[in-house]
Structure 1
């Protein structure tokens, strides 16, 4: 398939995944049945973001305009994709990028998320049978030319050793943060709430830590979260984590702030427990920049209203709405694939 034919097929996919078809219903239902963290609502949200941010003609054309060499003929390579399963179809961007580059994706699905991406690929193959050559589900990777693997810091050590002989992108744990200056409106704080609670805080773009000015008063923030996001406690796995972690903090006399759906702890780590968010005070702009610089390799994106020099900043409420050109870990996956 030529590049423009692949793009046209992706645009059709974007329209298709917004339709409430039986195939979509089954994929979403089986996803939740297989992994209770991947709720129907979250799967719908993920598919909607793909449809509106990734799979439109304007988004795709603007994206590939930065890669003029894409139009050149190249030999197709076999790309091993080790996909994560922490949020619905989280590996779709790697699948999309591999297809755009004209390579075959050897798909090693996560046991936690095995239905949504196949549902999308099935449509593409039915719509244009030639696209079947670009996708190959596998139980074990072998005979590949390059690999893109996503996992935890521990699994990344294994990946780096196992795939060291091949061109690779190995992704480790990352988290997102929010930087507040104390002048945020209620609307902006509510938007921040979506960055925290969407996908139960399990994504690399989930805000897991707040940087706030000295003497910041959390009362209004916690009150708003309680009023507008407490329904998250209806999800039994989230509630169980909240109850367990709250008990641990109380038994161990860990200082923390809490409402009925979220806990705040002063802590340097960017990685927080489910139902908890860490926070850290900064004294001034210089102090803030020093903290951000020290943690930059662990930060996926920064949600803020402030005019910060970092390139990976987004507005409050936009952390969970990546654009197609937003690459995990800031590594240009498409350029990597083009240069193979």
Structure 2
């Protein structure tokens, strides 16, 4: 078996490991992998947003993706060749949701290159654990995966994910190297008023999963003039317990107080605030909304904001309701094909 195929098989074994662990957690099977469970617990202790439910969701999604069939189908679209001169790719990872940088990590290793990862302080334990598991399955990966806590040095290429502010620093420090530098993006949903209760409930998953911290979370909805919000509020009522999470509750209380003191007109159901706003990036516990006259005009408006939008949820040609946090292997952040970029180095 070639090193390339051995790397694929290591990820397939990792996928099964993730799936098995999540299934045991969901079924309350007492025969859990103690080390893995302890890592999940520590990740939650280090980052209050990383609840066990959200970590398991991320792990389960990767477990479903890392099958031999999925990996083979995805990679079949690229001219991958064994290389004797791999590049060292520095990956600066965000820490907004669990394992948010794993796709970059996967792309670098399967393209035949080496990883030099700088982890976010908000997500420092999950990826090292998964890396160690991969190395146990394929020991040659030990020389191809490195983590650094200090200044990143000795890299040939950079993939950096951050905010609009940090992107300026990334461009300053890394601009002379081949790079992918990602900025803020948000996701939106287009409603017509004809959605079923099931579709609106599924939209709640797009809004509330990871507490709205991901770029694939819906942070704004577009609704037709005269839209009745009552069916929407009724449909998402099942997510009411989110306000029991203290960090989310603190944001909800703070944002509600600010809006009320500023005399902003808001809609509120006790755990989510709706605010009419021209912006795209709503604060935690807030969902922006805007009215539209014609879908054609709205489509033109969103096309003009293409570089700010990650996903569009709609009944017509967008991502399905409840599907934003279930990206496929070929769904690249910011629409930049990471694998193609790496293979052209």
SS in 2 for 1:84: coil
Which residue of 2 is the match for residue 157 of structure 1?
A: 168
Structure 2, gaps ≥5 residues long:
22-31
Q: CA deviation at 1:25?
A: 0.6
Do 2:7 and 2:138's aligned partners in 1 also have CA atoms closer than 8 Å?
Answer: no
| CA–CA distance in structure 2, aligned partners of residues 234 and 257 of structure 1 | 20
Q: CA deviation at 1:285?
A: 2.2
Do 1:222 and 1:258's aligned partners in 2 also have CA atoms closer than 8 Å?
Answer: no
Q: CA deviation at 1:223?
A: 2.3
Which residue of 1 is the match for residue 217 of structure 2?
A: 206
Residues 19-168 of structure 1 mapped to structure 2, 5 A cutoff: 19=21, 20-53=32-65, 55-67=66-78, 69-139=79-149, 140-168=151-179
**Greater CA deviation, 192-201 or 1-10?**
1-10
Do 1:79 and 1:103's aligned partners in 2 also have CA atoms closer than 8 Å?
Answer: yes
Which deviations, in whole Å up to 9, do the C-alpha atoms of 1:214-246 show, x marking residues without a partner?
Answer: 111111111222x20001011000011001100
Do 1:17 and 1:120's aligned partners in 2 also have CA atoms closer than 8 Å?
Answer: no
1:219 aligns with 2:220: no
| CA–CA distance in structure 1, aligned partners of residues 274 and 47 of structure 2 | 27
1:337 aligns with 2:342: yes
Structure 1, gaps ≥5 residues long:
308-312
Residues 162-177 of structure 1 mapped to structure 2, 5 A cutoff: 162-177=173-188
Do 1:210 and 1:280's aligned partners in 2 also have CA atoms closer than 8 Å?
Answer: yes
| CA–CA distance in structure 2, aligned partners of residues 266 and 305 of structure 1 | 22
Q: CA deviation at 1:102?
A: 1.1
Which residue of 1 is the match for residue 324 of structure 2?
A: 319
Q: CA deviation at 1:126?
A: 1.4
| CA–CA distance in structure 2, aligned partners of residues 110 and 154 of structure 1 | 16
Which residue of 1 is the match for residue 13 of structure 2?
A: 12
Tell me the TM-score normalised to structure 2 length.
0.94
The alignment's C-alpha RMSD in Å is 1.0
Tell me the TM-score normalised to structure 1 length.
0.96
Residues 273-284 of structure 1 mapped to structure 2, 5 A cutoff: 273-284=283-294
Q: CA deviation at 1:71?
A: 2.8
Question: Which of 237, 241, 251 is equivalent to 2:261?
Answer: 251
1:293 aligns with 2:303: yes
| CA–CA distance in structure 2, aligned partners of residues 135 and 73 of structure 1 | 16
SS in 1 for 2:142: helix
Which deviations, in whole Å up to 9, do the C-alpha atoms of 1:69-108 show, x marking residues without a partner?
Answer: 2034352110000000000111111101111111110010
| CA–CA distance in structure 2, aligned partners of residues 89 and 253 of structure 1 | 39
Do 2:90 and 2:159's aligned partners in 1 also have CA atoms closer than 8 Å?
Answer: yes
| CA–CA distance in structure 2, aligned partners of residues 267 and 4 of structure 1 | 50
SS in 2 for 1:70: coil
Q: CA deviation at 1:294?
A: 2.0
Which deviations, in whole Å up to 9, do the C-alpha atoms of 1:168-210 show, x marking residues without a partner?
Answer: 0000000111111111000000000000000000000000000
| CA–CA distance in structure 1, aligned partners of residues 287 and 301 of structure 2 | 17
